[in-house]
Amino acid sequence: MKFTVSMKDPDTLDDAIHDAVHSAVNEMPGLDDEAREAVQEKRMETVRELASKWFEYGEYLRVEIDTVANTCTVLPVAR
């Protein structure tokens, strides 16, 4: 049997992106605060764009659970 689950959480994706980018950029040597902030913003935009393949409006995620194959697959956003 296969069924689809839609989940909504408006803050989790953005919080995770922020934390990951912040951590990665803070490890970059030689950046002043202004440059660090600019790099963080650009990288967050890039990661949000990538995530939009699976997250609709930045908060809706759909997964398909297959009880026969014992799998759970993230479904791409229908465009």
Tally the residues of the chain: 79
pTM to 2 decimals? 0.83
CA 18, CA 1: separation in Å to the nearest integer?
Answer: 37
**Residue partners of 53: CB distance under 8 A and separation at least 6:** 76, 77
**What DSSP state is assigned to residue 43?**
H
Is residue 1 within 8 A of residue 67, CB to CB? The reply is: yes
Tens place of pLDDT for every residue, the chain, 79 residues? 999 999 999 899 999 999 999 999 999 999 999 999 999 999 999 999 999 999 999 999 999 999 999 999 999 998 7
Indicate if the alpha-carbon torsion angle 50, 25, 9, 70 is positive or negative.
Answer: positive
pLDDT of residue 37: 95
